[in-house]
Amino acid sequence: MTQNNLAVWGDPIDHSRSPLLHAAAYDVLGLEWNYARRQVDADGFDSALAGLDASWRGLSLTMPLKERAFAAATSRDRPATLTGAVNTLHFAVDGLRGYNTDVGGLGRALRRQGIEEADTARIVGAGATAASALVTLVDLGARRIEVAARNPLKAAALVELGAALQVLVVPSALGADTAARVDVTIGTLPGGTRLDGSVADALAAEGGALLDVAYSPWPSALAEHWFAQGKGAISGLSMLVEQALLQVRIFVAGAPEAELPNEPAVLLAMRDAVGLAS
């Protein structure tokens, strides 16, 4: 049986732009694959996974399924292992391979804007995406990373991860001392989250370049403060496209490092599909 079925699962899922991105990629590649979306909650994940037949090639996973997918995977790549999160499952001959393409997607989005390295960095928020942001920043060379969160106690796992990666992770309370100068900031707060104006201004003043994973609405509340100070900010849509490209590589060629045939055209079509300027 041909493996031509793919989907994105999550709860909620109606907002997902993954079907647009993947359909654009497979159209350029000339692949008649089906990529759908399905609402699956954490409690229903295991039974939904068990119900898939041999026609399935893989899954993209969004919240709240990344930890469930991590547990289901029979092998995991380095980013998934470090973060405890899997956003991509590939039904391979040797088992269910798990990947976290958010890490690579964040790094590619930053490099696309000319940000090749960073010595110091800040992560705003300590939620699920913060671990992927941390690994990304370490891969960019960061040696000191501040995690600014409403509740700094939630950054404990990030401190442990930083120690394992031999970098200093310093939790701080939003609204306290968040004015230390850094090279780059990654915002991981949910879309629509608004901070006190003076707090956001302080973050922007000393925050270097901003990549905010939020993209709806855009500009995000955080990005507005960067723009107000004449600074640039990268939309989370760029990260979304780049991590999806890595998923396409996995589904087509079996590895996130394997470049696609005519990949520049594939990436251009994916960016166009979500309205990103090329």
Residue positions annotated with a catalytic role: 66
What whole-number distance in Å separates Cα of residue 151 and Cα of residue 213? 20
In sequence order, what are the residues at sequence separation of 6 or more whose Cβ sits closer than 8 angstroms to the Cβ of residue 80? 70, 73, 86, 98, 99, 100
At residue 273, the 3 state secondary structure works out as: helix
Q: Select from 118, 123, 179, 174 the least CA-distant residue to 146.
A: 123
Cross-strand pairs, 146 = 122, 170
**Residue 170 DSSP label:** E
Q: What is the edge-to-edge ordering of all strands in the sheet holding 75-76?
A: 34-39, 5-10, 56-61, 88-92, 95-99, 75-76
| Strand segments (E) across 117-253 | 120-124, 144-149, 168-173, 184-187, 209-212, 233-234
> Exposed/middle/buried for 264, CB within 10 Å: 0-12, 13-18, 19+?
exposed
